[in-house]
Amino acid sequence: MLRLHGWIRFVLRRVRHFLTGMDLSCLTFLLVLALAFANGTNDVSKAIATLVGSGVTDYRTAIAWGTAWTMAGAGAAAMVAGAMVKTFSNGLLQTGTIISSTITLAILFGAMAWVFFASRTGLPVSTTHALTGAIVGTGLAAFAGEGLLWPAIGKKIALPLLLSPFLALGISLLLHPSVRLLADRWAGACLCVMPASRALVTISAKGNTRTVFQSTSFGQPVVDIPAHCDRAGLEGLVLGLDTIHWISSGLASFARGTNDAPKIVAMLLLGSASVTWPSTLFQITAFGGVALAMGLGSYFGGLRVTEVLAEKVTRMDHAEGLTANLTTSTLVLSSGWLGLPVSTTHVSSSAIIGIGLIKGLSAIRWSTVRDMVLAWVITLPAAAGFAALAYLLLSRLS
């Protein structure tokens, strides 16, 4: 026991030495990037699992696709997600509450630790939930919760997070019949864009072709990317049901990036009286760094959770995967514009579960759903616990 206490004191001394020798603002930024990386490992799966689950492509290609669109969405968030940044930087704290570097570091560590743990175990969890839990846990440890705006936490955080799974479930159930009808009518057909002939041609499931549009001028090219319409022997760019599924997945990934990046970046402005960036360069650097870190986490660590959502909840076909992606992208983009922090995890997972319910209760692997819901419930107290512990340790070091 004495050896253990001595080892702990030694570690604390080394950490204190490290912190005193490093600018805390740099450490904060590094932890923001680490949280963004953790977010990528867990959340890239939410928009691409349907591509793999319905057999459109393999894991590595789907992850690369989701990574590219996630980074694009995270970068675009700098221009469209001001409301979300405001919510997480000062919308949950009492006016005048002093936020020290120790508090910010504890919040970041608590959220990051839980998301990393969940990703390693293959559990799809919410970074929004984790950040909220970490803010509450640190607030309780630092000032007994008196600096927290509990009504705002309930209205802006708890209520959207609670309602979004049921909303996603209901939308997927309502939307799927229309998507199924469209998919059945489009099965085997495609749209061929022919740059050489400056024409747009449809090909039916029986191989019949019909010219929809043809330009009479060489100055009006239809498209400048050559491909092949193999079934009809035409040269052009083929647009079929697969294409729509790819686009919906990219849109959902883009929505995820715009929804999650501002929550993470907001930690750099935590406690600010007004959401004002020190400079435009700082804002660009913050969003650019978070976008890159989310992309790296997505590409190198996103496989494990993707496997769970793609294979272990319910089997999907084209129409079902498309329905889930359209539900996710619509809800997440809408909430992002309104500044309501819904969880991409809850939305996408609930949409996939809704797809399974259409086929019957036996089509869903309820053991997986049970583990997912349990992870959702545990996320708030777990992240709060990690953050409170980090605050107590860092307070002793400061």
pLDDT beyond 50 at 224: no
- Residue-level pLDDT at 95: 65
Name the pLDDT band for 36 (thresholds 50, 70, 90): very high
Rounded CA separation 23/31 (Å):
13
pLDDT in tens, 240-250: 667 778 888 89
pLDDT band at 96 (very low <50, low <70, confident <90, very high): low
User: 298 or 356: whose pLDDT is higher?
Assistant: 298
What pLDDT digit, counting tens, does each position of 332-344 carry? 877 766 666 677 7
Each residue of 97-145: pLDDT tens digit?
677 888 889 999 999 999 999 998 888 888 888 998 999 999 888 887 6
Identity of residue 249: S
CA distances from 64 to 14, 175, 246 (A): 39, 28, 12
> Cα(82)–Cα(28) distance, rounded to whole angstroms?
21
Please name which of 67, 77, 63, 87 lies closest in space to residue 160, comparing C-alpha atoms.
Answer: 87
Taking residues 205-234, report their average pLDDT. Answer: 52
Instruction: Determine contact, residues 296/110, Cβ cutoff 8 Å.
Output: no
**CA-CA distance, 224 to 247, in Å (whole number)?**
19
Least confident interval from 16-20, 60-64, 130-134, 213-217 = 16-20
Give the whole-number percent of the chain exceeding pLDDT 70.
73
- The pLDDT score that the predictor gives to residue 215 is 65
